[in-house]
Amino acid sequence: MTVLAVTGTDTEVGKTVVTAAIAAAALSLGRTVAAVKPAQTGVGADEDGDLAEIRRLAGEVSTHEGVRLPDPLAPDTAARTSGLPLPTLAEQQDLVARVSSQHDVTIVEGSGGLLVRLGEDFTMLDLMAPYDAAWIVVARAGLGTLNHTELTVRALRAAGAGVRGVVVGAWPEHPGQAEQQNLVDLTRVTGVPLLGLLPEGASKLPVREFRRGSLGWLPTL
């Protein structure tokens, strides 16, 4: 049983497409795979959210959502504005425990950055504390990513979490000097491996091409 925790240096950095690529790669190796989204915001009750996108891209992934909130805000804020209740920390941890006990690989995808509140008084760090999870940090390619990524890795290490490495969530077709240099400097400033690069627009590729590409994009995962 493997538990992976996917967090980002910020919102909209590519966490969902990276989660889908990890799931696709694991499925191609014959493993059973689950994806857990503790809190989905900005999506209505009958709309497809991140988990539907993961399943579309990766294939037969077992998907599990802790709570869904309509406003596109941090989960605790979205719950207050909508007047909807949030699961407790214990309830969210029970969900991860139950799902992970039934699958070879369970991927837990956070909301926004590492310290976004998933409940009234807990973050992704608190949620994953009981598990020997390997953390994957999804980062941007361009300027600003060194600071954001190092801060995220430092926070994880301060909490005693095991960081598997960094994935660039959207690598441009024509990278500039900053992007190219960041490939060298991300490992230097964080002290963790660069696990791979997903091409910009990967989620728009034909599904078969996405699934075939997953292992190549994440060769050291």
Name the residues annotated as catalytic: 37
The full 3-state SS of the chain, as one line of letters, equals CEEEEEEECCCCCCHHHHHHHHHHHHHHCCCCEEEEECCEECCCCCCCCHHHHHHHHHCCCEEEECCEECCCCCHHHHHHHHCCCCCCHHHHHHHHHHHHCCCCEEEEEEEEECCCECCCCCEHHHHHCCCCCEEEEEECCCCCHHHHHHHHHHHHHHCCCEEEEEEEEEECCCCCHHHHHHHHHHHHHHCCCEEEEEECCHHHCCHHHHHHHHHHHCCCC
How far apart (Å, rounded) are the C-alpha atoms in residues 117 and 115? 6
